[in-house]
Chain A
Amino acid sequence: MYISSVALGACGGCEASLLAAGEPLVALLSEHDIGFSSLLVDRRTLTPSDVVLVSGCVRNSEERRLAEEVARTSRKIIAVGTCAVYGGVAGLRRLELEQGEDDDVLPRVFGEAEPLDQFMSIEIYVPGCPPPTPILFETVKAVLEGTPPERYDTTVCSDCDRRVIRKGPARAVSLRTGPAVSDDACLLNQGLLCAGPVTRGGCEASCPSAGVVCAGCRGPSDAILSSQLHSLYSDMVSFVTRTTGGRREKVAAQLDAMLDVIYSYTARDPVAMFKVRGKVPRG
């Protein structure tokens, strides 16, 4: 099979995460042909490929042209990383730019990042900033072997060893960036805004395990994506209410002021944003 990888408006972390798989990845790629990958091979044109990994989102006219070319030449597209899936941190960008014509010197920069879904039909989404190496490698391997990749439909909390105390001591949550006070209690119980309950799992809860809040880089869990009754915001309100024992209205008022944090990886995702339209401040 021909496999390619294309980085659009990306930081390179997704590719670095895949390459961290090391020899097993090299052995796997050796059994196939690398069609295009500016990080790995010296080919300069995008050739038709069976599997294409696309990372990043679309932030300028050159990336849009590349995205359209990927859509034309690819059989199966895997969106790699939260930028490709939800817009990611790049989605926070709001630039005030003069809207001119494309020129022949440099690509025209867009004020906001455009989600990948607008340009191509994506078969598999692997969110994460960057996606964990084992998940990314196993997904690529499964696709090349023609088997369905494993689906991670749990939340970060299900990977986390911290203990939840229902109606624990914290009466409010904050954006305090300091470390966890306790080594084993849930971070919400400690008054920290941890997005673990609403975020897709599979990352072994690497941030909460290190005593730091989950920032939600793997994007919304299946429960949120699949139901109109759930949103990142409403589910966070419910979880915080349950763990702090606070009044729902009070918690909701507090989280209203933290929406830009809760949606920091999904600010350009139409599905996530539709459910809280009007609530999330726009640049």
Chain B
Amino acid sequence: MDEMRVSGDELTGQRVRIYPVTRIQGRADIEVLFDPHHKVQEARFRALDYRGIEKMTLGMSPLRVPAVLSAACGVCGPFHRLASCMAVESACGAEVPPAAASLRELLCWLLLASTHLATITYCALPDFALPMSDAAVKNVTGIYMVDQESVSRLSRAMASIDEAIRILAGNRFRVPVVLPGGVSRLPAPSAVEAASALLASCEDDLRETVRLAEMLTRRESRMMETGTPLPGHYLCSVTDGLAALIGSGISAAPFSGGEPVTMSPAEFLSAIEAEETDWSFLKPLRVDGLDCQMVGPLARVNMGFGQDTPLAHLERGRLLEQWEHPLDSEFFFLMSLALEAVWGWEKATRLLQAASDGGPECWTKLQPAAGTGHAVLDSPRGTLAHQVELGAGGAVADYRVMSPLQFSYRTMNKHLTSVAARSVSGIDISEAATARLQLAVRSFNPCVPCGTH
């Protein structure tokens, strides 16, 4: 933990830096600012890297851009690739064949389940399973020593889903099968059969994971102070008012309760405004009409699942019988990851059964020309938007990525400040308070590489 004097005019107190924030994707710190009386003035999460990947695409053929942007994030890369393909297709006015759209959606659901299982195993579970342990134990190896079966179960489910993705997409991390215009190939019947068998083998492990998450959530909710509900709105892609990954609109509703408002993707994009900060490389995104918003697993769980995923729907109902809707506390993070892993698995299983129904066409040739395009979808970590402008000759003239962490950033910092105000006393931040602040950050499931593209 570093301590330093603040040189700004408006701040005359001190700041303490918690660096690095651990068990999150990417490098960041938490800075706690104190007033001259050593009371917490503000706590803020700061990203320490700027990558400039949007700028790399300028002047490039739009057909190459999805492959470059898939390197925007190592975990959410496939979603950036897909969002970029969709934005380019929209700019070119192209329609993707139904079978290709179906395979893309299937891959999204599989990737959602796989990503969440990895997040549970390595990042989230230690906070819930070993909340009071020290750093030497409070990690995946510590859990493995006391509960090998849980790690084995998560690992088995993750391996099966990853292998299904590999069979269908060629590569778990790059999903090369997804191209501007569609997909490079549709799965052969033997591939569908193999992937179906792999998914079927996960069911028991996923059910047990939900049970474990529920048990730990119940325990944690009794242990943790709950006086800091999440502020602002929860926001995600929706279809017919229910959470979706590739939806027809975007809905937001207040954590304090109330009816959701729904926007079309175009309305949503026109309502977004990026703010500049001089203390972080992340640019928070403000959505006109909302004070601040949270995106990601908890937002989607609050928005609700359809009857077409009976297990996820049932488990969500059980959760809401114990706690009121909307779920507005960070200790629901683990449960929302587990619920969404089941949701993704059920959706993928259903889509896989219909994988060969879409017809033989898998790709449309694109003719890049001057124009603009966009795509809004939900990635595992929340709402993700891409906007492209093609200049004369069809080359990229402007590209804009709006990532989940940018959408959640203002809510995260507001929440972090209220958590710090309750848990930090004096400028010597205790290990317990540090752990509490980091838990607050992790509950937003932040992906720094996405945020600092």
A269 within 8 A of B: no
A123 within 8 A of B: no
For B21, the chain A residues whose CB sits under 8 A away are 38
- Segment 168-205 of B: residues with Cβ below 8 Å from A: 169-174, 176-177, 179-185
Could you tell me if A39 and B74 are in contact, using CB atoms closer than 8 angstroms?
no
Could you tell me if B49 and A60 are in contact, using CB atoms closer than 8 angstroms?
yes
For B363, the chain A residues whose CB sits under 8 A away are 178-179
Could you tell me if B75 and A207 are in contact, using CB atoms closer than 8 angstroms?
no
Complex partner residue of B74 from A13, A62, A180, CB under 8 angstroms: A13
- Bound CA–CA A42/B53 (angstroms): 29
B111 to chain A minimum Cβ distance, whole angstroms, is 11
Could you tell me if A175 and B279 are in contact, using CB atoms closer than 8 angstroms?
no
Residue-wise interface mask of A (4-15) relative to B, using a CB-CB cutoff of 8 A (1 in contact, 0 not):
000101111111
- Bound CA–CA A177/B170 (angstroms): 16
Listed stretches A102-110, A142-150, A165-173, A247-255; interface member: A102-110
For A39, the chain B residues whose CB sits under 8 A away are 22-25, 122-123
Interface residues on chain A, number (Cβ under 8 Å)? 62
For A176, the chain B residues whose CB sits under 8 A away are 63
Listed stretches A16-24, A69-77, A221-229, A234-242; interface member: A16-24
Listed stretches A89-97, A114-122, A151-159; interface member: A89-97
Residue of A nearest to B72 (CB): A11
Residue of A nearest to B20 (CB): A38
Could you tell me if A22 and B179 are in contact, using CB atoms closer than 8 angstroms?
no
Could you tell me if B447 and A92 are in contact, using CB atoms closer than 8 angstroms?
no
A99 within 8 A of B: no
- Bound CA–CA A39/B27 (angstroms): 9
Could you tell me if B174 and A207 are in contact, using CB atoms closer than 8 angstroms?
yes
Residue-wise interface mask of A (21-36) relative to B, using a CB-CB cutoff of 8 A (1 in contact, 0 not):
0110011011000100
- Bound CA–CA A20/B74 (angstroms): 12
Complex partner residue of A12 from B61, B73, B158, B362, CB under 8 angstroms: B73
For A88, the chain B residues whose CB sits under 8 A away are 71
A99 to chain B minimum Cβ distance, whole angstroms, is 15
- Bound CA–CA A261/B68 (angstroms): 11
B325 to chain A minimum Cβ distance, whole angstroms, is 33
Complex partner residue of A210 from B18, B135, B169, B281, CB under 8 angstroms: B169
B340 within 8 A of A: no
Could you tell me if A12 and B155 are in contact, using CB atoms closer than 8 angstroms?
no
- Segment 67-90 of B: residues with Cβ below 8 Å from A: 67-68, 71-75, 77
Could you tell me if A177 and B179 are in contact, using CB atoms closer than 8 angstroms?
yes
Could you tell me if B122 and A22 are in contact, using CB atoms closer than 8 angstroms?
no
Residue-wise interface mask of A (254-266) relative to B, using a CB-CB cutoff of 8 A (1 in contact, 0 not):
0000000100100
Could you tell me if A129 and B71 are in contact, using CB atoms closer than 8 angstroms?
yes
- Bound CA–CA A268/B74 (angstroms): 20
Q: Which residues of B line the A interface, CB within 8 A?
A: 1, 4, 7, 18-27, 46, 48-53, 55-56, 61, 63-64, 67-68, 71-75, 77, 118, 121-123, 135-136, 138-141, 144-145, 151-152, 154-156, 158-159, 162, 166, 169-174, 176-177, 179-185, 278-281, 362-363, 365, 435, 438, 447, 449
Known: A23-B151, A41-B136. 20 other contacts (CB 8 A): A11-B74, A12-B447, A13-B77, A14-B74, A16-B173, A22-B158, A26-B155, A39-B23, A39-B24, A41-B22, A42-B135, A62-B27, A89-B53, A90-B71, A95-B52, A105-B279, A130-B74, A179-B182, A179-B363, A264-B68
* 20 CB-based A-B contacts, threshold 8 Å: A13-B74, A20-B158, A22-B155, A23-B151, A26-B140, A26-B151, A39-B122, A63-B49, A93-B52, A106-B46, A129-B71, A178-B363, A179-B185, A180-B185, A206-B166, A207-B171, A210-B171, A210-B185, A211-B185, A264-B68
